[in-house]
Structure 1
Amino acid sequence: MRRRAPSLRVPGAALAALALALPVAPAADAAPANGAPDPGFLGFRLLEAPVVRRDDPRALKYIVDHLKPGTVIERRFEVANNSDTGRQVRLYPAAAAITENQFAFAEGRTPNELTRWTSVEPAVLDLGPQEKAEAEVTIRVPDTATPGERYAVVWAESGAPPDRQHNIGSVMRVGTRVYLDISNSGEYADFRISKIVAVRGKDGRPSVLAHVRNTGKRALDLRGKLHLADGPGGLDAGAHAVTEGTTLPPGGSGTVSVDGLNGSLPAGPWTARLELESGMVRHSLAARLTFPAPGGSSVGWIIGSSNRPYWYAGAGVVAVSGVVLLLLRRRRGRTAPNPPPQVPSSPNG
């Protein structure tokens, strides 16, 4: 008997933000070629996420799940035709992989093991001008599935073929990534920041690099910020976003960078606090940094760190930083039972 994993409807407040975050095709896919008819602009957003990941921002953007063999999941999504002409939109899964620390999409409808487990209904939507419609993706994991994480993309595609007025056709794809982990045991995700490096390019521009290793069993999409404080004369250079786009496979390692720092930034020393996260996994590392002369690099002296790895054991989500609190609550429960947990009404709890 196949088991169905429960899902949670994504709150409407989150959907408005996801309409911009979810298109994952390269810019070239979305732009018509020179002289081609304009295919219009498609919108794509998820409507559901796993119940156990209601506080996981990645699960509101992508299909992220951890399943046992023999499980079936269904996720509804919405496609919008944001143009003034009717469009036929084709819906289908296609292969993806993590290549050189980036989530890479395969060409066209290239299949892989995960896409063979995946179906989308309906396969075609005929949308009028400014019309929206819902569809559903179903993933049926076979009983014989082996452990490991698989990757794919659920695409919505619309195009305009060449005609008498246009010698070149055009195609646009938008969609959402799929990260599916298969195992009969629990799920574990974690990473380690090993060092922070101050860099100054030959043009004099400063930047910061962090070396990160994925020590868990799930792929990681790293994002975060760097705060520079306690500089010369007590200067505070504020917070700066980490350049996104780094995806580390299980066991993989790589770097994330903080670019766009002010070229006139003093050499230092600075207290740099880097905060990185991927879904429910969060780590920070603090170091004293001094920016070198143009063309050089300097490794920071580590002065502190914190971590919050994540595992899912089938009955709920536990963070390491919350273990002591959980034990204390259980002890108190011997005299005064805790109230039942409540499901938050928004993704932020």
Structure 2
Amino acid sequence: MAAIAVGVLAPVGITSARAADKGPGSIGIRLLEAPVARRNDPRARMYIVDHLKPGTTIKRGIEISNKSSAARRIDLYAAAASIENNGFTFAAKGTPNELTRWTRVEPPFANLRPHSKAKAKITINVSRFARAGERYAVVWAENRVAADATHNIGSITRVGLRIYLDIGPGGEPLADFKIEKMKGARDKHGRPSTTAAVRNLGSRAVDLNGTLDLRDGPGGISAGPFPLDSGITLAPHGTGTVTVALDPRLPDGPWKAKLTLRSGPVERTSTATVTLTNEKARSRTLLYVAAAGVIALAACALALVRLRRHQRNSQRPATGTTSSEGKCHS
């Protein structure tokens, strides 16, 4: 059975956001094309995100850039990845998985002059015996600088392009998630935040980012939008927690919180009333109030016992005195 190339591709107009892409002396990698069918999916313009049938082959163009003032050799290769602890986790170089065995990057390296670019091609040839399910990998662009007379310490710089590839017959599985259990908090340093539990309802991984708006606070004030501290990645049917850091000057509330989360074209919103209090401090306060109440009740009970004892003593006949009645004197 011959492999079949599928999908209409369109140029990609945005660059993958990678930390190593920003500073002087860095290298970069970005996707040049994405399926037209995913034109409304921001993730598909940053990463390779697709659903394929067994026996299918796809190709994607990428661009490699040398943003430094020195010539660099940049190696290109695929390595395994997984979703662990609500994050997209990269395996060590050379670690394979099923998806990396299907993936080839050509050419395998590029020699780039200072401030220059080159193009490469990623080919993914899915086995016709592949089982249904989503796979993960990263295509890395890596530059190694060995220690020499000028540099006492060698360095390795690499930037990556994620691959989320779902395999199976028929159409693409549902991508969906639900926001649950939103609440406010304040840490021991007084810094407020809002957290929410999120459940992935679908069979595709979701990369969650979004914002929080606060409305109807004390005196009718509003605040926001506040971005998530950092996005999280949830595996199919997984659960996790998102956190939004807030301005320390905000009063405790209560507030009407509106959280909006997105993963690709999927967007979900949830609202809840939150109070930005330190739960431990609040618990200690409640404990102190309860203890004070117990002490007050004990004091009242003791005072009542003493009062009743005094009343009983005042009503009892006097004893220990002598009387001359009924006695004869000589």
TM-score grouping bracket, smaller chain normalisation: 0.7 to 0.9
Give the number of equivalent residue pairs.
281
Structure 2 counterpart of 1:205? 191
Q: Distance in 1 between matches of 2:230 and 2:165?
A: 21
**CA offsets per residue over residues 48-100 of structure 1, 9 Å max, x none?**
11221111011111111111111111100100111222111111000111111
Structure 1 counterpart of 2:113? 128
The structural deviation recorded for 1:205 is: 1.2
1:184 partner letter: P
Higher relative contact order (CA 8 A, sep 6+): 1
The answer on whether the counterparts of 1:203 and 1:294 sit within 8 Å (CA) in structure 2 is no
Structure 2 stretches lacking a partner, 5+ long:
284-330
Q: Distance in 2 between matches of 1:296 and 1:179?
A: 44
Q: Distance in 2 between matches of 1:90 and 1:264?
A: 48
- Normalising by structure 2, report the TM-score: 0.81
The structural deviation recorded for 1:151 is: 0.6
Structure 2 counterpart of 1:42? 27
The structural deviation recorded for 1:162 is: 2.0
- What SS does the corresponding residue of 2:95 show, helix, strand or coil? coil
Q: 1:123 to 1:220 in 2, by over 3 A?
A: same
Q: Please say if 1:262 is aligned against 2:247.
A: yes
Q: Please say if 1:81 is aligned against 2:66.
A: yes
Give the alignment partner of residue 97 of structure 1, picking from 73, 82, 98: 82
Give the alignment partner of residue 170 of structure 2, picking from 167, 179, 185: 185
The answer on whether the counterparts of 1:97 and 1:104 sit within 8 Å (CA) in structure 2 is yes
The structural deviation recorded for 1:291 is: 2.1
Structure 1 counterpart of 2:218? 232
Q: CA RMSD in A?
A: 2.1
Structure with the higher fraction of residues in helix conformation = 2
Structure 2 counterpart of 1:146? 131
Q: Distance in 1 between matches of 2:259 and 2:84?
A: 25
The structural deviation recorded for 1:287 is: 1.1
Give the alignment partner of residue 223 of structure 1, picking from 200, 203, 209: 209
The structural deviation recorded for 1:185 is: 2.7
Structure 2 counterpart of 1:284? 269
Q: Distance in 1 between matches of 2:243 and 2:31?
A: 29
Larger Rg: 2
- What SS does the corresponding residue of 1:218 show, helix, strand or coil? coil
The structural deviation recorded for 1:24 is: 6.3
Structure 2 counterpart of 1:303? none
The answer on whether the counterparts of 1:118 and 1:137 sit within 8 Å (CA) in structure 2 is yes
Q: Distance in 1 between matches of 2:48 and 2:73?
A: 24
Q: Please say if 1:173 is aligned against 2:185.
A: no
Q: Distance in 1 between matches of 2:264 and 2:81?
A: 20
The answer on whether the counterparts of 2:183 and 2:275 sit within 8 Å (CA) in structure 1 is no
Q: Distance in 2 between matches of 1:207 and 1:10?
A: 39
